[in-house]
Structure 1
Amino acid sequence: MRVILGLLFSVAAAMAEKFTNPVIWEDLSDVEVTRAGDAYFMTASTFHYSPGAPVLRSYDLVNWEHIGHSVPVLDWSSKYSLENGQRAYVKGIWASSLRYRESDGKFYFVACIEFGKTYVYSASSPTGPWSQITTINKCYYDAGLHFDTDNTPYVAYGRGDLHIAQLSKDMKTEVKEQVVLSPPSTLTLEGSRLYKKDNNWYIFLTRPATGQYIAKSTNGPFGTYDLRIIADNLKLAAAPRSGAPHQGGLIDTPNGNWYYMSFVDMYPGGRAPALAPITWGSDGFPKITLVNGQWGDYDYPLLKRTVPSPIGTDTFPGPNLRADWEWNHNPDTKSFTVNNGLTLKTVTVTKDLYQARNTLTHRIRGPQGTGTVLIDFSKMADGDRTGLAVLRDSSAWIGIEREGSNFNLVFNTGLSMNTDWTTKSTGTVSARQNNVSYRKVYLRVSADIRPGAAGSAVFSYSTDGNSFTNFGSTVSLGNDWQFFPGHRYGILNYATKSLGGSVLVSRFDNK
């Protein structure tokens, strides 16, 4: 009896522990969470980063680990591979939908690309392999997928007019579609998520980027729908200078409780997920549980269960990259290997980092993150550039350039894009140490991405991994939203004269 009481006390204590929002201080926007058994799986937008649509797993809705991607390669156009001078910045995967169907034990991912076609991917395991199963020749903009109790798939979508589409059970064709809700012209709604509860149908909608609405139908998925607002300009108590929690979706738990996983504009770091409990009123509409009128910190929804964290060291053991890495556009897969280190061969001859293939990126962990790489650059070719960047539409990097027989430590700042995401400036070398004698170097970026003001990044280097020297100037990290993704670490290696060189990245430390 004492053992049982002790276990019950431990469980109660674990669930009474509070968590702090955002639950993941990483750039994970347009999130949706689906449940399979006792596990929860999250998707998010990745735009031009590849592979696309990360899959994260949690058992308590608070602690999450990256386990895969729903879109193995962005194969919709050659511009997603930075080929022939093309690029796809800010295009690609926007708000999409990830759902588990219990009847066939499969996961499904639905995404409209560039307002054109809708692509459907499926996998028997959330870790993959994932494959595209069909293309639907219309755009399910901001899709929200739901499987009814008879396994029929429905998709809510649209901006302005809101639509419901019924799909065939194999998810490959549209059976029926109609507009189910037309908000007034003064109200723009998008970010659809679709649910069924107590035989009522719900479309969960956002008014970017401050308001959250829900529409309820008591007469099936095609309505009619009654629209109500449930959140307007809420504040996140733990980060009052951030934006309002909005969009995202609802989650049910096996114990019958419900939660709302939103995301919050937290530039310069991007947009991060925030969780709150909800209750359902007698009128069949949900209400967000607030703390002193704000989105607060709450008791753990479920028994706390820790998972592997991206915080720590990656030595690239191979044969594949960990799931928390994504390339800037599709990589040339023949030009890198992962085997007790990451070998990067040069792929592109350019002076423009934004056009260079095989730049490997990693989200910065907020509120203040530090990324450090160890690079062996002894096999660089004349004209090559390698290093560690803070990467966005305004960027800077610290690294090595080879000129003739000399290897020089350089700091390149002022890289920037125009508003159409073409390159405005390839940057300027503002600090330099010529002809360094070492052939391995630790490069570090320390980034302050706290929201509400321009952040900053400090660059440094070390030859022993212990004593670091600041190099170059402190860089301002803008907090504008138009590029959508936040700043990331970027490991770069490109040629300016000819291909043939390579570098070895031995480790990445993420703090």
Structure 2
Amino acid sequence: MLKSLVFIVAFYLFSSNTFLFAQFSAKWGDQSNGTFQNPVLPSDFSDLDAIRVGDDFYAISSTMQFSPGMAVLHSKDLVNWEVISHVVKDLTQISPKLNWDKMDSYGKGIWAGSIRFYKGKYWVYFGTPDDGFFMSSASNPAGPWEPLHQVWKVSGWDDCCSFCDDDGQIYFIATNFEPDPINHKKYNIHLFKMTPDGKSIIQESDRIIYQSQGSEANKLYKINGMYYHFFSEVKTEGRVIMMERSKSLTGPWEVKQLNHVDKKLDKEPNQGGLIELKNGQWWFFTHHGRGDWEGRAASLLPVNWVAGWPIIGKVGADTIGTMVWSGKKPIIHQTTKLVRQTEKSFSEKILSPDWEWNYQPRASKWSLSARKGHLRLYAFQPINPQDTIDILLRAGNTLTQRSLRTQECTVTIKVDIANMSDGQQAGLTHFSTTSIANIGVKQRGNKRHIVFTYKNQEIVGQEIKSKVIWLKSTWNYDGINQYFYSLNGNDFTPLGLPTQLTWGSYRGDRIGIYSFNTQQEKGFIDVDFVKYLFKR
């Protein structure tokens, strides 16, 4: 449902040459008049990196335990983005803990990485806190991506980036966030050489090029013959963007702070990618380091070069940048289509790349071919089926999408429940590790009831005797959600009290579809369509 993120909105006048510094508001993205408003993606696109290749822009975003992993995005103008693929098809290639029968790695899994284009390929490297570093490459960022390769099995490292120098030598930069065994310092940033195929680290080439509290978010660039090491660290004012520069990768390095934290907004830029346009302008595509219920949203900031330093945002008197919330679009792309979210059926052979499962799904328990135009979700027992506390956290085959933070959102699904079985539960959920609310059908014996669940408390509604049911969730900019159900698709009845959407384990809220059975491996539902609508 996030695939097209440009929409017709009310006209809003901006000066074509002036950036405004407004509060974080419900306005976002393309304003349809040659301007944009941050965030450009008002939902959970964390740990971003981005590049330009020709006339196209590509970005990656971490996905933690969601599968497929490491989302790949595409844009023509840096403002309107769509998810086009994922780098990791099978999370069990990283760890068995990311499979449907374990589900105990919330806040772990795929962390930040980098995307680069060199030697005729797109290269993505990323790390996990427990399993080390991995890479894949592709000739087309839309896929297919080559089988995942483990670069280094290690724990306590993160935020890696590859870099190919002019002579073809590939380098690898990353943070070791565990204490150094000799001097006991945390967050040492290491630089290595790699083998020519980019698949192995040359360990003896290791050297530490920076150390400070919380230093991570590493990216490495070469601009006009100068090497630039982008990173962030924690200072008194909060987490800020930093940069080192040198004429040689062996140093010496100069260091400068690139931005300030606006403590009132508490939404500082952090992970991201510096991008040069064909016309010589520079921009920074970034996530906000702290998230509200929507997670870590994505913004676009101008970059101004001052004395050889790429200052991010509005340049202050101290030559350090501050957050920019709106301005003129970098590129006016004539073929950009303005569309609205519409009804989506499951008529394709594969799921849209907007969808991600919670953990690696059980492949034999879902299907797009068992019934044409439908998603079939077979039910099986959750891990520890007798544990009713937040049972969805341990129930396999929960299919999710990111929740947008807009003025008004509505998600409606139509579900055939005729083949549900005793012990089965199925429906629509807002999914977070800190707060789970859902509406669905619960079958006990031969009877089915509509049930609302929030923080493990149930409200049982009427008995459902029809074979088809519509379930709906609405939420607003503040993340206040209300559930509804309908037996005819037209007349909707609310069930349960309004709930507050939340984030947890470094993830924003997600809307999801679930089907499980606490008693037996039996029963299924067929999801006819998902309708995801919203207003600016």
TM-score of the superposition, structure 2-length normalised? 0.83
CA drift at 1:397: 0.4
Gaps of 5+ in 1: 1-11, 415-426
For 1:354 and 1:16, locate their aligned partners in 2 and report how far apart those are by CA, in whole Å: 43
CA distance in 2, matches of 1:325, 1:86: 18
| 1:369 is aligned to 2:369 | no
SS of structure 2 residue aligned to 1:142:
strand
SS at match of 2:364: helix
Match for 2:65 among 45, 48, 54?
A: 48
Q: Hey, what does 1:6 align to over in structure 2?
A: none
Retained in 2: the 8 A contact 1:28–1:45?
A: yes
- 1:342 has 2:375 as partner: yes
1:161 paired with 2:188, answer yes
What is the letter of the counterpart of residue 284 of structure 1? G
Q: Report how many residues are paired.
A: 470
Match of 1:354 among 390, 393, 397: 393
Residue 369 of structure 1, CA deviation: 2.6
Question: 1:337 deviation in Å?
Answer: 1.4
Q: Distance in 2 between matches of 1:43 and 1:168?
A: 24
Query: Which of 447, 470, 474 matches 1:446?
Result: 474
Quickly say closer, same or farther: Cα 1:504–1:308, change in 2 above 3 A: farther
Q: For 1:79, what is the secondary structure of its paired residue?
A: helix
Query: Helix, strand or coil: the match of 1:210?
Result: strand
Q: Deviations over 1:120-177 (max 9, x none)?
A: 1122211211123532225552012222233332222114221112212211222353
* CA shift in 2, pair 1:317/1:242, >3 Å: farther
The alpha carbon displacement at 1:498 in A equals 1.2
Whether 1:68 aligns to 2:85 is yes
The structural deviation recorded for 1:277 is 1.2
Residues 381 and 499, structure 1, Cα contact 8 Å, conserved in 2: no
Deviation, structure 1 residue 242: 5.1
Q: 1:246 to 1:408 in 2, by over 3 A?
A: same
SS at match of 2:147: strand
| Structure 1 length-normalised TM | 0.86
Question: CA 1:173–1:242 in structure 2 vs 1: closer, same or farther (change >3 Å)?
Answer: same
**AA paired with 2:521?**
L
The answer to which of 264-273 and 125-134 deviates more is 125-134
Q: Residues 433-476 of structure 1, C-alpha deviation per residue, up to 9 Å, x if partnerless?
A: 2x2222211111223354xxxx3211111223333221111112
Could you tell me which residue of structure 2 aligns to residue 3 of structure 1?
A: none
Instruction: Give, in whole Å, the separation in 2 of the partners of 1:266 and 1:299.
Output: 25
Deviation at residue 346 of structure 1 after TM alignment: 1.2
Counterpart for residue 76 of structure 2: 59
Task: Measure the CA separation in 2 of the matches of 1:269 and 1:447.
Answer: 11
- The answer to whether the aligner puts 1:290 opposite 2:314 as a matched pair is yes
Alpha carbons of structure 1 residues 331 and 369: separation in structure 2 relative to 1, 3 Å? same
| Runs of 5+ unmatched residues, structure 2 | 1-15, 18-30, 178-186, 317-321
SS at match of 1:471: strand
Q: Are the equivalent residues in 2 in contact too, given 1:15–1:299 (CA < 8 A)?
A: no
**1:78 counterpart = 2:119:** no
Label 1:183 to 1:317 Cα distance change in 2 as closer, same or farther (>3 A). Answer: same
Counterparts of residues 391-430 of structure 1 (less than 5 Å)? 391-393=431-433, 394-414=435-455, 427-430=456-459
Once structures 1 and 2 are overlaid, which stretch shifts more, 347-356 or 23-32? 347-356
Q: Is the 8 A contact 1:178 1:222 kept in 2?
A: no
2:280 paired with 1:256: yes
One-letter code of the match for 1:428?
Q
Change (3 A) 1:286 1:490: same
Q: Is the 8 A contact 2:365 2:379 kept in 1?
A: yes
Q: CA offsets per residue over residues 226-251 of structure 1, 9 Å max, x none?
A: 1110112147xxxx745112221211
Question: Which residue of structure 2 lines up, in the alignment, with residue 267 of structure 1?
Answer: 292
1:191 aligned onto 2:217 = yes
In the alignment, which of 375, 385, 393 is matched to residue 425 of structure 2?
385
Deviations 1:393-420 (A, max 9, x none): 1101000011111111000110xxxxxx
Would the aligned equivalents of 1:15 and 1:303 in 2 still touch at CA under 8 Å? no
**In structure 2, do the counterparts of structure 1 residues 396 and 291 end up closer, same or farther at CA, with 3 Å as the change threshold?**
farther
Give the match for residue 5 of structure 1: none
* CA spacing shift, 1:151–1:341, aligned 2, 3 Å: farther
Distance 1:466 1:15, change over 3 A: closer
Give the Å deviation of 1:86: 4.8
